[in-house]
Amino acid sequence: PGSKDRVFLKPAAILKHLPLAMQGILDTKAGESAHAAAELEEATGLVAHTPLSLRISWLTDTYVTFESFFVSRSATKVMLLDDIDSLPGWSEPIVDAAEAETSKSSSKPSPGLLGNFGQRGWRKPGPAAAAAARGQSDTGQTSSCVGDMFFVAKTALEHAIATQQPAAVEAVSQSVIGVMNSALLATVESRALSKWNAVSSTKGSQLSAGSSELSWRLPGVGSVSADTQTEDAPINPVAAHQRGILVSVNNLDLAGQYLQKTADELKTRVTGEWARIPQQDHVTRAQKALDAFGAFLAKFTHAKQRSLEQFGAQVIKPWVRAILQQSYRDIKYVLTDEEFNDVQNDNLFQKRFVLKFGLLAKQLKERLTASNLAAALDIAASSLAVDWERAIRQSKFNMLGGIMFEKDVREIQRYLELESDTMLRKKFLRLIQSASVLAVEGVADAKHIFDGLSVADASPQAALSKSEVKAILANRIDVSEKDISELEP
């Protein structure tokens, strides 16, 4: 330039000084757009849409194609090599807790289940027992497919983040989501929703390792080796079927945890590694792509919830109902003074229930993750409250029997709260109110229960209605219908 004031070159001048030979090296079609109007990036002042940017775009597309291919192939291998058939602790099926026998004359419950049950009811376990209960189970609760799948997903997304190209992160994220949906979620959810009693334990019926009809793996892949699985130790078909269902439910829970953690770690990595990129819209696009990956958590959560609801309906609720029925065998609530004292010293109902429910809880603790165990015990407590309330509507009481029933309700509630580490006051509110009604000395004493119903610490749907209080009070054989009818409506 002839003037000293002309320091910067205009875009047209820049194009004139670019060697055509160099353009040809960068892109064979560069010569066709050599005289197009150049665009400058406002943030950097660099020329936009150069042949180099076209080549970078082509390389990015090529990388995405290869990465998606390897993610798909790796996911297939992950599912084929899953170690579900070699997990320890599943040699025997879950025992029906309601069938655990205990009689007044000969039963001596196991110290492990009733060791904390004394004359004053259920006591909180000591520090040593609590520490042992929190110890990790020897049973394999989850299989390898979840950890391996998320290793593949995280590695692929880390590669995409390293390119610092938002298009690569978006494409790889969608590829990972699609593969996890079709390979991991669909397969595990299908097994978790299998019918619990689909396989019966018939004599002579055995399954070899890796031969379950619900298995998604190739025969022999990931199965127990000949050194550990012999003809003398065949797999119980019922245990293998239960393992497939419960391990899959646990896998859904674990996948949700891994997904949330992986998405948070990758978003933090984008924020740190892309901090120097001047195009902030690139960072925003990458974060949105990872948000979509994290939002996939909702599908795993929904699948786990469906599986737990089915497990509760098919297994937990029938077992809890049977436990209640078996525990109440030969139990009555019309008591004389002598019978009341005998029950005070040896409460057979409470011992039976703790033995049977403790066996169920012990087996669930060994086979379910902490989150799934809490959900299963919550279902059990809700089912017990409903079934127990229905049972007392069909029973007869006198005052001493009502007092004993109230003690039973409060002791079982305390036991379940310690077992599940959850407050159950709202779940047992109607049951506690029913017990209070049955324990009153006379109809006049029920008036304070009537007055307290309007200020119950739960929703109106949870508390007893006044008509229900009258119906429950009618089960008292020592209370006349005339006295009950005189209560305010």
Count of residues making up the chain? 489
Q: Please state, in angstroms and as integers, the Cα–Cα distance from residue 162 to each residue in 65, 286, 472, following that order.
A: 16, 11, 69
Distance CA 350, CA 121 (A): 8
Q: Is residue 470 scored above 90 in pLDDT?
A: no
Q: pLDDT at position 479, please?
A: 84
Lowest mean pLDDT among 72-76, 93-97, 415-419, 448-452: 448-452
pLDDT above 70: percentage of residues in the chain:
70
What does the pLDDT look like over 87-103, one tens digit per residue? 998 888 887 766 655 44
Which one has a higher pLDDT value, 340 or 210? 340
Alpha carbons 335 and 1: distance in angstroms, whole number: 115
Give pLDDT, residue 203. Answer: 39
Alpha carbon distance 1, 9 (integer Å): 9
More confident residue, 402 or 219: 402
Q: Is 352 a residue whose pLDDT tops 60?
A: yes
Q: For the whole model, what pTM was predicted? A: 0.77
278 backbone dihedrals φ, ψ, rounded to 5° = -70, -25
pLDDT tens profile 285-318: 999 999 999 999 999 999 999 999 999 999 999 9
Band (pLDDT 50/70/90 cuts) for residue 486 is: confident
Query: Rounded to whole angstroms, what are the CA distances from 403 to 174, 350, 361?
Result: 63, 14, 28
121-122/117-118 β-pairing = antiparallel
Mean pLDDT of 417-446: 87
Q: What CA–CA distances, in Å, run from 383 to 91, 360, 379, 422?
A: 29, 14, 6, 15
pLDDT of 95 reads 78
pLDDT digits (tens, 9 = 90+) for 212-263: 333 333 333 333 443 444 334 567 889 999 999 999 999 999 999 999 999 9
pLDDT in tens, 130-160: 444 444 557 889 999 999 999 999 999 999 9
Separate counts of helices (H) and strands (E) for the chain? 20, 4
Q: What is the mean pLDDT of residues 189-193?
A: 94
Mean pLDDT of 392-403: 92
Closest CA to 359 of 322, 390, 387, 392: 322
Most confident of 67-71, 422-426, 484-488: 67-71
Give the mean model confidence (pLDDT) for residues 102-108. 41
Angle subtended at Cα 95 by Cα 98 and Cα 101, rounded to the nearest 5 degrees: 40
User: 7-10: which pairs have CB atoms within 8 A and are 24 or more residues apart?
Assistant: none
pLDDT at 113: 43
User: In this predicted structure, what is the pLDDT of residue 17?
Assistant: 56
* Higher-pLDDT residue of 65, 40: 65
Nearest CA to 196 out of 315, 373, 363 is that of 315
In angstroms, the CA 473 to CA 331 distance is 20
* 3-state DSSP assignment of residue 70: helix
Task: Identify whether the C-beta of residue 88 lies closer than 8 Å to the C-beta of residue 139.
Answer: yes
Examine the pLDDT at 427 and tell me if it is beyond 80: yes
Distance CA 385, CA 17 (A): 85
| Cα 126 to Cα 123, 130, 362, 415, distances in angstroms | 9, 6, 17, 14
pLDDT higher than threshold 80 for residue 123: no
Question: What residues pair up with 122 in beta bridges, in sequence order?
Answer: 117
Q: What confidence tens digit (pLDDT) does each residue in 51-91 have?
A: 777 787 888 889 999 999 999 999 999 999 999 999 998 88
